[in-house]
Amino acid sequence: CGVFGILAPGEDVAKLTYFGLFALQHRGQESAGIAVLNGEKHTLHKEMGLVSQVFGEKLLEQLQGQLAVGHTRYSTTGSSRQVNAQPVVSRTRLGSVVLAHNGNLVNADQLREELLAREHTLLATTDSEEIVHAIGEAVDDGDDWISGTIRALKRCSGAFSLVIGVPGALLGTRDPNGVRPLVIGRLDGRYVLASETCALSIIGARYERDVEPGELVEITEAGLTSHRWATPDPKLCIFEMIYFARPDSRMNAESLYTYRERLGEILAAESPVEADIVIPIPDSGTPAAIGFARRLGIPFQQGLIKNHYVGRTFIQPTQSMREAGIKMKLNPLPDVIEGKRVVMVDDSIVRGTTSRKIVQALRDSGAAEVHMRISSPPVTHPCFYGIDTDSQDQLIAATKSVEEIARHIGVDSLAYLSIDGMLEATGTSGNNFCTACFTGNYPIAIPDRIRRTKLM
Ligand code: 5GP
Ligand code: SF4
Ligand code: MG
């Protein structure tokens, strides 16, 4: 999911949020929503669809307030329904609290039972709604906004980057592992919070710093106050860097474009191949393909043209929709491919469905050889922290060896980047990252009940 927030009394906060969400569209295409707070009262609009489909000028004009919180949803828990769209709201004795969540709680069932026992009506089925009700409960029990929020956060286990609006303040926080990103920006003396820096650039805001894992930032008209509510143990999702976040966003002080190019270079050094052209699977494979081609001195070409008006295929909820989506999405260029030994580079293989279809399309277009290089290690484990990688039995690398996968997708050769290569490219020891979908080392313990839903 994508989250965004701004506190700017007197400014058109909803419109700024609209543009922020527009830049975060890649993080979720199922639903979009914006909530504004005017004093103690909120106004909210959320609907299924893309940001540009959900909001128009008229609607945005009706969303007047001192602060706004926005969300683009990509369903990882709860079904893909209108009722699960965000931001979510709770009404308390101190006024409304609105909240946008990116991530996934692993103790949602338990929290839900506790909340229901206190007669909180949970209309929706998401963990995000539970968080906002936990805050509401603490505040109604007598806490102020900060102590109440911290009390609620301490009941949560899992991945959560949150942007929260309360009367007079915008709050931002990350779980103690900081699995999902959240950045702080400045715009003409105002503060902005966003999942990625690309949402700052689009509104002309300057990146200031990340919200730290286990930190709660409180932004008011007077400025920013930092509250440390848990001991930080940074484990940023490395898949954000490899694939999920936009290449023009910055993490760890460099653009992800640069990181991904380097993944391609290291991959080329590890698993070179003799070929005539290197082509990316656009757009996610492009930076790595550029790095790969440069390292081996093979021409980089576009052999597949992407229709950008089709959503990311994996975000659509059913397999049949997914397959239809793939066909609409990529078209091969026979003029580039015919008679050539082709290396195609992609960022990841998850289910193997996309790759298999593309290989067939390249062969149909007359490729002499088709080799595949993947700029991440094999995805062998499901994610429980907010990226929808299905259950383990759906992951092709969980049940098949690299040779078997090569045969399944129909390539002449296949190689993945090593785990060491992936970590080396970060320029750090690699201890600061969650790598669970490649290694099975889950930094946040997963209750058995949840484990059983996804692990073989
Ligand atoms: P596959 O061959 O596994 O069907 O699709 C791999 C391609 O789709 C890659 O280009 C990757 O960018 C994207 N992709 C497909 N599904 C997922 C998913 O569930 N999670 C992530 N992170 N990427 C996916
Ligand atoms: Fe990211 Fe994979 Fe960890 Fe999930 S399991 S948070 S996708 S690195
Ligand atoms: Mg892709």
**Chain segment 105-139, per-residue pLDDT in tens:** 999 999 998 988 887 666 667 899 999 999 999 99
- What is the CA(418)–ligand 2 centre distance, in A? 16
- Exposed, middle or buried, 217 (CB in 10 Å: 0-12/13-18/19+)? buried
> Atom 1 (ligand 2): residue with closest C-alpha?
237
Tokens linked to 258:
């640069």
- Give the closest residue to 94 by CA, choosing from 156, 168, 34, 153: 168
Tokens linked to 291:
């790095």
Question: Mutate which of 240, 350, 437 to test ligand 2's pocket (most atoms within 8 Å of Cβ)?
Answer: 437
pLDDT of residue 169: 98
CB distance 323 to ligand 1 below 6 Å: no
When pLDDT is averaged across residues 381-408 and rounded to a whole number, the result is: 93
Q: Is the pLDDT of residue 378 over 80?
A: yes
Given pLDDT bands bounded at 50, 70 and 90, which one contains residue 329?
confident
Nearest atom (ligand 1) to Cα of 379: 3
pLDDT of residue 35: 98
Residues with CB under 5 A from ligand 3 (ion): 284
- What is the CA(348)–ligand 3 centre distance, in A? 7
Helix locations, 312-378, DSSP H: 319-329, 334-337, 353-364
- What is the CA(286)–ligand 1 centre distance, in A? 14
| 422 touches 263 (CB < 8 A) | yes
CB distance 389 to ligand 1 below 6 Å: yes
CB distance 179 to ligand 2 below 6 Å: yes
Question: Cis bond leading into 280, ω under 30°?
Answer: no
- What is the CA(379)–ligand 3 centre distance, in A? 14
ipTM: 0.92
- CB within 8 A of 264, min separation 6: which ones? 287, 288, 289, 290, 291, 292, 293, 294, 295, 345, 375
**pLDDT tens by residue, 33-74:** 999 999 999 999 999 999 999 999 999 999 999 999 999 998
Measured between alpha carbons, how far is 70 from 89 in angstroms, rounded to an integer? 12
When pLDDT is averaged across residues 294-299 and rounded to a whole number, the result is: 98
Given pLDDT bands bounded at 50, 70 and 90, which one contains residue 194?
very high
CB distance 149 to ligand 1 below 6 Å: no
Ligand that comes closest to the CA of residue 313: 1
What rounded mean pLDDT belongs to the chain? 93
Q: Is the pLDDT of residue 312 over 90?
A: no
Q: Is the pLDDT of residue 422 over 90?
A: yes
143: left (phi over 0), alpha (psi -120 to 50) or beta: beta
pLDDT of residue 317: 54
Residue 70: Cβ within 10 Å count: 35
pLDDT of residue 253: 85
pLDDT of residue 388: 76
Given pLDDT bands bounded at 50, 70 and 90, which one contains residue 328?
low
Is CATH 3.40.50.620 what the domain over 2-234 is classified as, yes or no? Answer: no
Written as one letter, the residue type at 225 is T
> Atom 15 (ligand 1): residue with closest C-alpha?
314
Measured between alpha carbons, how far is 51 from 46 in angstroms, rounded to an integer? 10
Nearest atom (ligand 1) to Cα of 350: 3
Active site residues: 1
Nearest atom (ligand 2) to Cα of 237: 1
Q: How many CA atoms lie within 13 A of 405 on its CB side?
A: 26
Measured between alpha carbons, how far is 263 from 347 in angstroms, rounded to an integer? 9
Helix locations, 307-418, DSSP H: 319-329, 334-337, 353-364, 396-399, 402-409
Question: Mutate which of 242, 329, 350 to test ligand 1's pocket (most atoms within 8 Å of Cβ)?
Answer: 350
When pLDDT is averaged across residues 322-327 and rounded to a whole number, the result is: 56
CB distance 67 to ligand 2 below 6 Å: no
Nearest atom (ligand 1) to Cα of 314: 16
CB distance 354 to ligand 1 below 6 Å: yes
Q: Is the pLDDT of residue 238 over 60?
A: yes
Q: Is the pLDDT of residue 423 over 60?
A: yes
- CB within 8 A of 420, min separation 6: which ones? none
Percentage of residues in the chain having pLDDT higher than 90: 82
pLDDT of residue 48: 92
- What is the CA(282)–ligand 3 centre distance, in A? 6
Measured between alpha carbons, how far is 216 from 132 in angstroms, rounded to an integer? 15
Measured between alpha carbons, how far is 397 from 390 in angstroms, rounded to an integer? 13
- Cα–Cα distances in Å, from 228 out to 172, 211, 216, 332, 448? 12, 11, 6, 52, 30
Measured between alpha carbons, how far is 131 from 142 in angstroms, rounded to an integer? 17
CB distance 341 to ligand 1 below 6 Å: no
- CA dihedral angle for residue 122, residue 123, residue 127, residue 131, rounded to 10 degrees: -50
Question: Mutate which of 283, 348, 357, 362 to test ligand 1's pocket (most atoms within 8 Å of Cβ)?
Answer: 348
Per-domain residue ranges for the chain? 2-234, 255-428
Q: Is the pLDDT of residue 82 over 80?
A: no
Q: Is the pLDDT of residue 415 over 90?
A: yes
- CA dihedral angle for residue 202, residue 207, residue 211, residue 212, rounded to 10 degrees: 140
Given the candidates 3.30.450.40, 3.40.640.10, 3.90.550.50, 3.40.50.2020, the CATH classification of the domain at 255-428 is: 3.40.50.2020
- What is the CA(357)–ligand 2 centre distance, in A? 26
CB distance 239 to ligand 2 below 6 Å: yes
- Distance spanning both ends of the chain, measured CA to CA: 26
Given pLDDT bands bounded at 50, 70 and 90, which one contains residue 229?
very high
- Give the closest residue to 417 by CA, choosing from 271, 300, 257, 294: 271
98 against 389, higher pLDDT = 98
Q: Is the pLDDT of residue 75 over 80?
A: no
